[in-house]
Structure 1
Amino acid sequence: MLAAMGFTGIAAAGLPILSACGVGGRASAPNGAADVTGGFDWKKAAGQTINILQTPHPYQVSYQPMLAEFTELTGIDVNVDLVPEADYFTKLNTELAGGTGKHDAFMLGAYFIWQYGPPGWIEDLGPWLQNTSATSAEYDFEDIFDGLRTSTRWDLTTGQPLGSGGQWAIPWGFENNVVAYNKAYFDRRGIRLPDNFDDFIQLAIDLTDRSANRYGIATRGSKSWATIHPGFMTQYVREGAVDYTFDGTDLIAEMDSDRAVDFTRKWIEMQQKAGPTSWTTYDYPNATGDLGDGTAMMVYDADSATYPKNKPGASAEAGNLGWYAGPAGPDGNYKTNLWTWSWAMNANSANKLPAWLFIQWATGKESMTKAVEGGIFADPVRKSVFDSTFKRVAGNQPGYLEAFETVIGSSKIQFTPQKKFFDTTKDWAVALQDIYGGDDAASRLRSLAKTNTSKVNL
């Protein structure tokens, strides 16, 4: 959910999201994997054409020059429709709800599985992975980091943990939510990176000097679901809070638990004393922009959103930035919430085999290695590509690899899967704004929890 190298990320507050309930999509076609027989052959669908839907993004830019290589390998032609991300999910929602198979494969954020999976709009890719007639023996799905494979697998039951059930998408690129900081400034003053949240808050306050147009910490604060999922959710779970529990019958919202209230008070105090003065308007481009121009001393957000700012000529502070995992939880944990752009298949596609061959190629080792070599594809989903290529490409970015390796074992989607995710998480962001504006944290969060419990169990 980032935009690097000048491309925008997922639209924040105003993104129209249609509910999976009541939209009226047609039942999906049967899974097509069993129709593929015989030995594996990249040319098995030669002469066919697929349509794919994408939004402008560094991952898309990295792969665009390689599409001709895919056609040469497979004999499959690829038509690409690029849709600005402000309109992307509205278009995709409408298409899938109508049961059309216009686009055979498309970029998908993992949270959208919770909306698109239950009504049968997307293909379960598990059978395709398991069919040796359709999947190359060299593909090695297990090479993809475990937290990413888990985050795109679900049994479609509200509240059930991720990691079982259908494989609804294949991870392509992703983001860990960690802290980027002005390393040159820290080094000049001998500032130590804090390893707990209380010290982190105090450092952010100490770094803030409004008269010098300098503040300590940038995070997202707009009235959008996207405000909750990066730094906020990462530190929330590190501090021992959860979003929902299951009582045997219903999901129960836990935003008003003692741990959640305590953490939220601290998070909001940090914004008030050490954040941007217009925090309630902030999305990640504002936060990363302030880091790049030297206004913000730290940013708690996607690592690959801040990564480009340190490239020569990319910002005023290029060459001065560093990364670290951020403060550990009280028990030393580094639980981290991630975002992944993945590839999914339209369940109503008439071209499932060529679409699967494309997804397999796009998420395979060879093409991903070439994309990373290009320099703007950060955080490859494959461990082998990370070890063989990304470590070399990103090796001159201070602390980036160390932060990545600190959190990767605990990096996954930390939310409880549920179909009203976008609505209830936007409500959460509104509650943060209200507390920032003066509402009592405990009472406002009780109201939020009551409302969200009602919504998720409808």
Structure 2
Amino acid sequence: MSRSSPWCFERSRRRFLQTVLAAAGAAQLLANCQQSGAPKPDDAIAPANDAFDWRCCEGQTLHLLLNRHPWTAGLQPYLANFEAQTGIQTNLTIVPEPDYFQVMETALQDETIAIDVFFLPMDSTAYRLWQGSLLQPLTPLLNDVRLTEPSYNLFDFPEGFRLAAMYPPEAESQQLFGIPITFESYILFYNQQLVNQYLDGRVPQTMPDLISAAQTINQRGQGEVFGAVMRGVRSDTIIDTVTGLVLNSWGSPATPLPYNVWFDRDWQRPRFTDPKIVAGLTAYAQLMQAGPPNIQAIDWPEATQLFQNGQAAFYIDASLFGPGYEQPDSAIAGNVGYTRLPRVQSASLTGHWLWGLGIAQQSSQPEAAWLFVQWATSPQMEPLISVNTGGAPRFSSWINASPYTAAMNIEYALCVQKAMQTSRPTAVLHPRWNEIALAIADTIQAIYQGTDGSAAAAQLQARVEQLIAQEA
């Protein structure tokens, strides 16, 4: 065999996988549009529009308030392009994430602070900002032929992503208040070497099989290798990953906002004792039990590092961690497997969390602000910026040949694209959701420590009923 043969094989393999990726993504994009009642991709692209002009707001200056985030780092090299294309100047303020939320909310409520476009967490925070009349509706701007480039195509974003910032959440007529810029869905990472060593190369296909396999590896690993690692801390910040597992356990029945899976379409009907929810919470706790002894002190940075060091066989968490595992300094580069959550019922489901861009209600130049949001989230710019995040929220970024797909591991891209197709929002739009999320974390801790899942869920049900009653 010639020295070049392995390279030729890999090149052919990548081309084949890229073809599969593109075909699968295009087919699913069409299916999603048909299922949601949205226009098909060809219909969503309007004919040539002479009324649109990128320079219609020339001479204005936008004030951007952004989180210090990989997306922001990906944006900065292209800002000069936006300014040249539109004649709009940008004034950029970047705030470290630990301080961002407080700074952002203060700025939105203080009319003396100049703010036009900002990093919007597309969850209960966005809902609360909308309730406070702090967000500019984007629908009128999006529908204005003078302000929106004909090929923008909102329906290139999955329906579940768009619904995350459409309010009022239960109304027949809704408006859009945020455009996604990066997302995380919850997938299974696995160490292929450990799967080969302990499981004869067989990746579990169901959640019970995953739990059993993780427990087996944990027993045989003798404290040096762990079956699984999860976010084990007592914190409301684990709730999105938890919701991903619970949605997977829940199956096909709808989980509409604002209630999501946890309430039966009414705040007075929490359903934490539903067997499918109990199964999801129990699965999370059992995967913790297959982890290191200090799992209750482990949050995502520690869990990610443990997996990246090659010390854990399985890890369920945010998809955007994937590209980091392939970096040269990763001990498991080239040895990571990516797959959707092992199914509980007939299909794999998951959840997602989103950062987006919003326009402040107090902005004195919403049209110029919309031009920036539109440009930064366009089919042309989004894949370029998203190389830094691994979380491009447009379907087209995953199926078209671009710097984005070139930068991604093919198996990772296939996995995330499939996860996007069945992913649902993890948000719950209730003012006391953070307290409820912490109560859910306490329930997982109790199951981890040996409490029966149904008994722990009954205690959770009573606690949530009390919190809801206090709110009423």
Compute the displacement of 1:198 (Å): 0.7
- Structure 2 CA distance for aligned equivalents of residues 185 and 443 of structure 1: 35
Q: Which has the higher helix share?
A: 2
CA distance in 1 between partners of 2:432 and 2:263 (Å):
13
Partner of 2:301: 285
Aligned to 1:327: 342
**Which amino acid counterpart does residue 324 of structure 2 have in structure 1?**
P
Partner of 2:4: none
Paired residue type of 1:356: W
Tell me the CA shift for residue 400 of structure 1: 1.2
The equivalent residue for 2:33 is none
CA–CA distance in 1 between the matches of 2:343 and 2:404? 24
2:182 aligned residue (173, 190, 199): 173
Change (3 A) 1:187 1:117: same
**In structure 2, C-alpha distance between the alignment counterparts of 1:387 and 1:130, rounded to whole Å:** 26
Q: Any unmatched runs of 5+ in structure 2?
A: 1-49, 252-260
Q: Distance in 2 between matches of 1:286 and 1:77?
A: 41
Question: Aligned partners of 1:252, 1:240: CA distance in 2, in Å?
Answer: 17
Cα deviation digits, residues 25-46 of structure 1 (max 9, x gap) = xxxxxxxxxxxxx932111111
Q: What is the Cα deviation at residue 229 of structure 1?
A: 0.7
Q: Pick from 245, 261, 274 the counterpart of residue 264 of structure 2.
A: 245
Find the partner of 1:211 among 203, 207, 222. 222
Deviation per residue, 1:296-345 (Å, 9 max, x gap): 1111011111321112x231112211201121121x22221001111011
Quick one: distance in 1 between partners of 2:132 and 2:340? 38
Deviation at 1:67, TM superposition (A): 0.7
TM-score norm. by structure 1 comes to 0.83
Percent sequence identity is 25
Per the alignment, do residues 413 and 406 of structure 1 end up closer, same or farther by CA in structure 2, a change over 3 Å counting? same
In the superposition, the TM-score normalised over structure 2's length comes to 0.80
Matching residue of 2:80: 68
Following TM superposition, by how much is the alpha carbon of 1:215 offset from its aligned partner in structure 2, in angstroms?
A: 0.6
The structure 1 residue matched to 2:276, chosen from 232, 255, 259, is 259
Q: Does the CA contact (< 8 Å) of 1:150 and 1:412 recur in 2? A: no
Q: Structure 1 unaligned runs (5+)? A: 1-37
Q: Give the Cα–Cα distance (whole angstroms) in 2 for the partners of residues 429 and 359 of structure 1.
A: 36
Q: Distance in 1 between the 2:233 and 2:416 partners?
A: 27
**Structure 2 CA distance for aligned equivalents of residues 444 and 91 of structure 1:** 38
> Does the alignment pair 1:405 with 2:417?
yes
The change in CA–CA distance for 1:294 and 1:63 in structure 2 (over 3 A counts) is same
Cross-structure match for 2:212? 202
Of 226, 243, 248 in structure 2, the residue corresponding to residue 233 of structure 1 is: 243
Alpha-carbon contact 2:225-2:312 (below 8 Å) kept: yes
Indicate the RMSD between aligned Cα atoms, in angstroms. 2.3
Deviations 1:74-99 (A, max 9, x none): 11111111111111111222222445
Structure 1 residues 390 and 414: CA distance shift in structure 2, 3 A: farther
Matched, 1:310 2:326: yes
Which amino acid letter does the alignment assign opposite residue 282 of structure 2?
A: R
- Mapping of residues 303-382 of structure 1, within 5 Å: 303-311=319-327, 313-330=328-345, 332-372=346-386, 375-382=387-394
Counterpart CA distance in 1 for 2:421 and 2:215 is 31
User: What corresponds to 2:146 in structure 1?
Assistant: 133
Structure with larger Rg = 2
| Number of residue pairs aligned between Structure 1 and Structure 2 | 408
User: Alignment partner of 1:175: what SS?
Assistant: strand
